């Protein structure tokens, strides 16, 4: 059911009080007007500045009132089938007399053909009025509405357009979450900035989305630039992601493909789980939103659950996007002495993950399997569960190449084969730190270039996680061996076990 149809049902069912939640007052009024004109209902708006104004008329007279109390009195006296739209009337919630007056009027007109719609940018209604009315939300424009805004703008004489078919679709997708007015402004800004509207303007529209995300303290917008070349190893995972790179396009939907739900990245700390989440955003050119579950909790009863729903609605608003839940075992683990709040928040997120229809691809990372509830990793919430293990020798060589290149050094100047052998049992973060340590040595030694020897010495000074947390790492790898996840690398599980046995024997 579309919003127009839903609103028409409420009006035909004689709902006397409808609180319409939206920041787009002009679009909301136009929608109400269209619904009323199709049913030949009169529609009159009121605000404290201009009083009553005709929106859609059918012979009804327009009353006069400058203050809210008089306006309610006039609505009470009005005859005929009329919809009254009260703008900014949520500001009157603070006034006890006006709340009581509105409640009296709503009760008296219950069996008439009159309805009152209160437009409000915030989703709130006083306890006294909750039994009298219904709260509905006008969602931001969908892809077809934004495409219409783009078409109207590009048909303006003198506007140059150089968009590919895929670029146009991605530009509209990038604008999802913006209001109609905001999308018009950002499209116009893109045209004026370089004189033409083309595929390069996708990034400009994405930047505009940051303003929306900043409204929610629980969601953090990441401008990602990482690519698969910035992540060493993880060949299976990269192939899986590339296969789904175009899964959010209209062409994929026409083919019958559903949007991917998400992946869980489980594994040893420092193996690149967070970096992988950022890499997916860069590969798919989608907004990356990090969900800070800790910021969802509030001190009032029900506040945490409402914050959760608001954050998830906001994520759906800017879809298609990637929602990254980092270290979810810390944020979503059940238990505690919070009166069940964490369990309810966890349940809200789980339900959303299973039932969401918006193209929100969830990337959830975790280090501690034991603290995750079993229902989290079942099929239906994630498309796949990947395990990020200790890197193989080939992967360690790739990791060394990536980090040396980032530091503006030529990998061929280093003995990568030797360093890859000597870093057996080290995770990517530990290899990166060894390069940093070697750079400090070279810098403090008359700023000379650091060498293979410097990196080798730095590796030997470290105690890798595979040794210092042998039991934890062993438990994680047992979880992989039991077949509960797919390895993110090309290495077979048997090879991983043999390598771990060698590490254990070497440490004894």
Phi, psi dihedral angles at 66 (to 5 degrees): -105, -30
Residue 60's pLDDT band, with cuts at 50, 70 and 90, is low
pTM of the model: 0.66
In the three-class reduction of DSSP (H, G, I as helix; E, B as strand; rest coil), residue 53 is classed as strand
Q: Is the pLDDT of residue 497 over 60?
A: no
DSSP string, 280-304: HHHHHT--EEEE-GGGG--SSTTHH
CA 138/CA 387 separation, integer angstroms: 41
User: Which residues are paired to 116 by β-bridges?
Assistant: 17, 84
Model pLDDT, residue 253? 83
Model pLDDT, residue 494? 45
CA separation (Å) from 35 to 113, 138, 423?
15, 14, 68
Phi, psi dihedral angles at 52 (to 5 degrees): -80, 140
Instruction: Answer whether the bond into residue 320 is a cis peptide, omega within 30°.
Output: yes
Structure confidence by residue, pLDDT tens digits, 97-139: 999 999 999 999 988 889 999 998 877 788 888 888 899 988 8
The single-letter DSSP state of residue 411 is: G
Enumerate the domain spans of the chain.
3-137, 143-213, 222-388
Query: For the structural domain made of 143-213, what CATH number should be given?
Result: 1.10.8
CA 290/CA 260 separation, integer angstroms: 18
Model pLDDT, residue 334? 46
CA 480/CA 236 separation, integer angstroms: 15
Under CATH, what is the fold of the domain 222-388?
Answer: Rossmann fold (3.40.50)
Residue 363's pLDDT band, with cuts at 50, 70 and 90, is very high
Pairing of strands 262-267, 360-366: parallel
Model pLDDT, residue 331? 62
Q: Is the pLDDT of residue 6 over 80?
A: yes
Residue 235's pLDDT band, with cuts at 50, 70 and 90, is confident
Q: Is the pLDDT of residue 366 over 60?
A: yes
Percent of the chain past pLDDT 70, that is, above it, reads: 90
Model pLDDT, residue 300? 57
Residue 226's pLDDT band, with cuts at 50, 70 and 90, is confident
CA 455/CA 438 separation, integer angstroms: 5
Mean pLDDT for the chain overall:
84
Residue 493's pLDDT band, with cuts at 50, 70 and 90, is very low
On the question of a common fold for 143-213 and 222-388, the answer reads: no
CA 97/CA 93 separation, integer angstroms: 9
Selected residue with higher pLDDT from 108 and 344: 108
| CATH superfamily of this structure's domain 3-137 | P-loop containing nucleotide triphosphate hydrolases (3.40.50.300)
């Amino acid at each position: 059911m579309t919003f127009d149809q839903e609103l028409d049902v409420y009006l035909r069912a004689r709902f006397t009080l409808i609180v319409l939640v939206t920041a787009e007052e002009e679009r909301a009024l136009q929608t109400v007007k269209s619904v009323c004109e199709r049913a030949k209902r009169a529609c009159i708006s009121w605000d404290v500045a201009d009083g009553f104004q005709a929106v859609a008329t059918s012979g009804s007279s327009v009353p006069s009132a400058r203050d809210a109390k008089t306006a309610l009195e006039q609505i009470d006296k009005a005859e005929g089938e009329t919809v009254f739209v009260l703008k900014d009337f949520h500001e009157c919630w603070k006034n006890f007399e006006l709340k009581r007056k509105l409640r009296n009027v709503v009760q008296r007109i219950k069996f008439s053909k009159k309805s009152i719609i209160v437009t409000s940018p915030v989703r709130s209604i006083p306890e006294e009025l909750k039994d009298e009315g219904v709260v509905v939300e006008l969602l931001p424009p969908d892809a077809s509405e934004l495409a219409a805004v783009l078409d109207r703008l590009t048909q303006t004489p003198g506007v140059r357009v150089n968009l590919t078919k895929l670029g146009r679709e991605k530009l509209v997708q990038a604008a999802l979450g913006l209001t109609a007015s905001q999308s018009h402004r950002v499209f116009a800004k893109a045209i004026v900035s370089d004189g033409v509207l083309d595929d390069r303007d996708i990034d400009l529209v994405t930047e505009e989305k940051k303003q929306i995300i900043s409204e929610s303290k629980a969601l953090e917008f990441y401008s990602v630039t990482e690519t698969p070349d910035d992540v060493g190893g993880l060949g299976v995972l990269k192939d899986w992601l590339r296969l789904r790179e175009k899964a959010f396009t209209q062409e994929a939907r026409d083919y019958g493909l559903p949007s991917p739900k998400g992946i869980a990245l489980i594994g040893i700390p420092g193996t690149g789980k967070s970096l992988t989440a950022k890499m997916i955003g860069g590969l798919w050119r989608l907004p990356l939103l990090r969900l800070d579950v800790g910021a969802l909790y509030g001190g009032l009863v029900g506040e945490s659950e409402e914050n959760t729903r608001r954050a998830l609605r906001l994520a759906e608003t800017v879809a298609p996007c990637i929602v990254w839940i980092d270290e979810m075992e810390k944020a979503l683990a059940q238990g505690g002495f919070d009166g069940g709040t964490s369990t309810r928040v966890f349940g809200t997120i789980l339900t959303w993950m299973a039932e969401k229809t918006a193209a929100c691809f969830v990337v959830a990372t975790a280090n501690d399997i034991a603290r995750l509830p079993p229902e989290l990793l079942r099929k239906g919430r994630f498309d796949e569960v990947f395990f990020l293990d200790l890197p193989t020798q080939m992967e360690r060589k790739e990791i060394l190449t990536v980090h040396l290149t980032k530091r503006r050094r030529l990998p061929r100047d280093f003995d990568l084969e030797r360093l890859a052998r000597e870093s057996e049992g080290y995770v990517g973060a530990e290899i990166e730190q060894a390069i940093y340590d070697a750079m400090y040595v070279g810098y403090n030694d008359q700023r000379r270039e650091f060498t293979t020897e410097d990196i080798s010495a730095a590796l030997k000074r470290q105690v890798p996680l595979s040794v210092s947390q042998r039991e934890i790492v062993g438990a994680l790898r047992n979880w992989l061996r039991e077949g509960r996840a797919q390895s993110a690398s090309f290495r077979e599980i048997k090879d991983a076990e043999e390598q771990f046995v060698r590490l254990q024997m070497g440490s004894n």
